[in-house]
Structure 1
Amino acid sequence: MQNRFPAFIITLSFLSAFLFSCGKEEQAYVPKPKGFNRIDLPEQLYQKLTENHPYTFEYSKSAKILPDTFALAEKDWIYIYYPQFKANIQLTYKSVRKNQTLLRNYINDSFKLTGKHQVRASSIQEQKLRTRNNLTAMIFKIEGDVPSPYQFYTTDSTTHFLRGAIYFSTATKNDSLTPVINFIQKDMIHLLNTLEWKR
């Protein structure tokens, strides 16, 4: 009888532990949602474009002016590059030369280039803006996971035509980039409001 007592105690201990663990409510593993990277935005300060182009404007002190490296780029095509965000505003300039056919072609091209994002865009909104310098600009807001959330064009209808597009080189979802998109969008509006043509 004495030899069976330790075995009885061990069995009773295991049984108690089993019953005690069954009495506890099982907690299911719930993965934590993915967090967005913290984005520290610089102060929005501006400087005047000093390069020799048919236009001038104020752009962010957080950005650099770079030449457009696209194979078909013309000499007055530039990038306003934001190294901190791996983003840029691409500007393409065209001379209208008082040719209304050319102007219509430039405007149609702007709508076509914006329309190329329809595959991934959830919506494309158009808005006309009257700038402080009395220019009219057409702004396209492209919502969804697209590389270019904003595009625009502006013209004086006779001599100058300027098209711009905000581009991100990262694959990050746009909802996590919202603070940066809003930051650069304000710079885009400031660019348009300070844009002046050189005659």
Structure 2
Amino acid sequence: MIHQKGFFHQISAGLLACTFLVFGLSSCRKTKDDSDFVPKPKGFNRIDLPSTHYVQLLENHPYTFQYSSQAIIKPDTVAWAEPHWLYVYYPAYKAMIQLTYKSLDNNPTKLSRLIDDAYKLAAKHSQKASSIQNSILTTPQGEKVMLMRLEGEVPTYLQFYTTDSTKHYLRGALYFNTALKSDSLEPVIEYLKKDVIKMVNTLKWKQ
């Protein structure tokens, strides 16, 4: 006579062994679909970046510069816009460089306030930005340009300002009206950064 408890232990052990054997054979077997599976690479929208030709800003403003022939100059239409505020609009990329101009009137306090405002506007995006890189450029005219490059999912990826310290102040910011992520926009950002550098290097104030 077989002891009942020992009998059930033997059956349980046998079933457990069979279960491991079945699952082991199943895991070793590969179907045709399994062997042919290849992960799809992450894709981005194709963006063509043609060579750039520059033209002179001829409109009646206290400044002039060269800008890309792919861009369209538009007046800033926000309710608080002031004279000589512009958009350098790139329809192909749904991008724009917003330019805001201020007359200094030989007022150093006004200049100091505008510079503080420029840093505050950049700092507003610091929580979403993965990094903010500041660099100082010197134009052929000997004037300084503060260039701020922001990375991450931020509303503006490039900001800058320049001044002659006594009469003129110009600030710019690059925006995109698109749902594309910053990784996809990176080639365009660097492409338009070259346009910004061309703009400030050819910037001339009108007396």
CA distance in 2, matches of 1:149, 1:128: 17
Residue 83 of structure 1 is matched in structure 2 by 91
Q: Aligned in 2, Cα 1:31/1:55: closer, same or farther, shift over 3 Å?
A: same
Structure 1 residue runs of 5 or longer lacking an equivalent are 1-21
CA distance in 2, matches of 1:54, 1:127: 26
Pick aligned residue for 2:60 from 52, 55, 78: 52
Structure 2 residue runs of 5 or longer lacking an equivalent are 1-25
Match runs of 1:20-31 below 5 Å: 24-26=29-31, 27=34
TM-score, normalising length from structure 2?
0.82
Pick aligned residue for 1:62 from 70, 73, 82: 70
2:7 is the alignment partner of 1:36:
no
Residue 146 of structure 2 is matched in structure 1 by 138
2:125 is the alignment partner of 1:120:
no
CA offset digits 1:80-122 (Å, max 9, x no partner)? 0000000011000000000011000100010011111112101
Residue 165 of structure 1 is matched in structure 2 by 173
Residue 17 of structure 2 is matched in structure 1 by none
1:119 match: secondary structure: coil
Superposition deviation, residue 34 in structure 1: 3.3
Residue 108 of structure 1 is matched in structure 2 by 116
2:187 is the alignment partner of 1:179:
yes
Does the 8 A contact of 1:147 with 1:169 survive in 2?
Answer: no
Does the 8 A contact of 1:121 with 1:142 survive in 2?
Answer: yes
TM-score, normalising length from structure 1?
0.86
Moved more, 124-133 or 28-37: 28-37
CA distance in 2, matches of 1:30, 1:66: 48
Structure 1 or 2, whichever has the larger Rg, is 2
Does the 8 A contact of 1:90 with 1:165 survive in 2?
Answer: yes
Does the 8 A contact of 1:42 with 1:62 survive in 2?
Answer: no
Moved more, 34-43 or 79-88: 34-43
CA distance in 2, matches of 1:159, 1:100: 10
How many residues align structurally?
Answer: 179
Which amino acid is the alignment partner of residue 25 of structure 1? K
